[in-house]
Amino acid sequence: MSEFFSGGALLGRGLGMIVRRPRMFVVGAIPPLITSVLFTAILIALIVNMERLVGWLTPFTGGWSESLTTVTRVLVGLALLAGAALLMVITFSALTLTLGSPLYDRISESVDRELGGAPAPVAEPLATSLGRGVRQSLALVGVSLVVATLLFLAGFIPVVGQIVVPVVSAIFGGWVLCIELVGSTFERRGRLRIRDRRTAMRQRRARVLGFAIPTFLLLAIPFAAVLVFPVATAAGTILARDLLAQTPPVSRSLSG
């Protein structure tokens, strides 16, 4: 459990580093502010139309008793919200990181330098790094869509839908989010594939989840991301360095 709590403490360390960089903090808050407005509007639209959506998804309850119909539709509504929350946080994070890629790279590089042992910058066209980031983000969103669909279906199962599904959503969503947040530090050390991050994260799973789950839950709160995202970027850099310290170095050539 100590590893799990030490992972959560990384957010505090990230906050300490960010408050010493107020200009970076303010600039880093701009992309999540933009995406927060967009996704809050989507969330409000979902909630406003929830009754209609649930009715459309449950036409089979037409001949059921009123109590059974109500219970079924509540379960469907909760499952729909859980799946939507998972997808929205992952998509929100991917879009924010893409929009603010140069800004978050600067935050990560600054933290990396302060902690010492940061690699020398490697020249890479911005279009190349952005293209790779977009492809990887789309892959993660695609996987998240499949998992969200499965969790939505599991939401129909009594007890499992109300207890297990939210827990699994937070664990899976946090894991995928962490893959995104450690990416910049890994790439500066020549580890460009998502597989590289997953392999390193599995070696310290408790520490990763201790950081990832609270971060995921905080980002699920509308507009909290404006404050959380710059902090999570700094904390993700610290975590990435911890993970990379236990893996052998690779060539940092970015060609091919």
| 27 pLDDT higher than 70 | yes
CB 212 within 8 A of CB 236: no
State the average pLDDT over residues 48-67: 85
For residue 138, the model assigns a pLDDT of 86
Domain ranges of the chain: 2-44+82-244
For residue 254, the model assigns a pLDDT of 43
For residue 155, the model assigns a pLDDT of 75
